Structure formats: structure tokens, C-alpha cells
Amino acid sequence: MIDFFQDALFASIAAIGFASISNPPHKAYSYCAVIAAVGHSVRFLLMLPEVAGTHIVIATAIASFVIGTIAVLFSTRAKMPAETFLFPSLLPMIPGIYAYKTFGGLVLCLYGSDEPEFMHSFYLFANNGLTCLFILLGMVIGANSPIFLLKRISFRATRGSFHGNL
């Protein structure tokens, strides 16, 4: 239970940090924190063997869809585009360790002295690289799907501030 709350807390802190880079309105920070905590917690729960035992790629795609849906729903309340909270909330799920291990495997391939060592290094490179790639694809598809599925809501969020002049 402590791991669950730590995961949510650290995801919300990271989302606030990522949001601060793009300088959104101050009220967006709390939305980013909540959305990131919920989305990261969904992924955390889906990956637990006692709950669902889902692979990280599928769990990330589902969590990204949840993040995208919540961002679209909050956008009308906050009168800001969903992307204002969507992207900072997604960033804590970037597969950094897989990217790091991918390039580590590539370097080991270059320095491999015999075929079994090279094959093992290539396996590490390919396995981590494909996992990283599919996590990123799951994030992109999962997070952007609600924007298109809930088009009326997502485009209505900022419509009132333009007074129909567009």
C-alpha cells in the first residue's frame, strides 16, 4: 500500500516539474498532479501480479488512455486545452530505463569479442528497444485517442474565450 501511494506522489511531483517547464497557468499544476497520480497508479495496479499482472506495454497504453480521458474532462472545467495537462501528466511514464538499457546493449554489441557475447548483447538491445518503442506507441495512441473520441468536449474547452471569432 505504501508503494502505491509513493508511486502516485512521485508521479505527481514529476508532472508538476514537467509542467513548470512549459509555464502554464498556475491552476494547471494541480490538475497535472492529480492526473499524473491517477494515471501512474492505474499502470502500477495493472502491473501488479496480484491485481492483473499486465505487461508494461498494455498497462501503459491503458493508463495513457485514462490520463487522456481525464485531461479532456478536466479541460472544460479549467477552460484550458487538454494538452496543457495531458503532456506533463504523461511524462512520468516515459520508459527511460528501457532506453538506457537499449543503448547499453548497443554499446556491448560494438565491443563484443565473440559471437555468443554479441548475440546476448544484441538480444538486450532488441528486447529493450522494442519494449521502449511499444511503450511510447502505447502512450501516444492511448493519450490522444480520447481527444478524438471526445472531440466535442475537447474542442469546447476553450471555445468560450474566443467568442466564436474563429
Q: What is the pLDDT of residue 165?
A: 43
Task: Report whether pLDDT(134) > 50.
Answer: yes
Q: What is the pLDDT of residue 102?
A: 95
Q: What is the pLDDT of residue 162?
A: 44
Each domain of the chain, given as residue ranges in start order, spans 2-94+141-162
> Which has the minimum average pLDDT: 40-54, 69-83, 117-131?
69-83
Task: Report whether pLDDT(22) > 70.
Answer: yes
Q: What is the pLDDT of residue 163?
A: 44
Residues 6+ apart with CB under 8 A from 146: 65, 68, 69, 71, 72, 82, 154
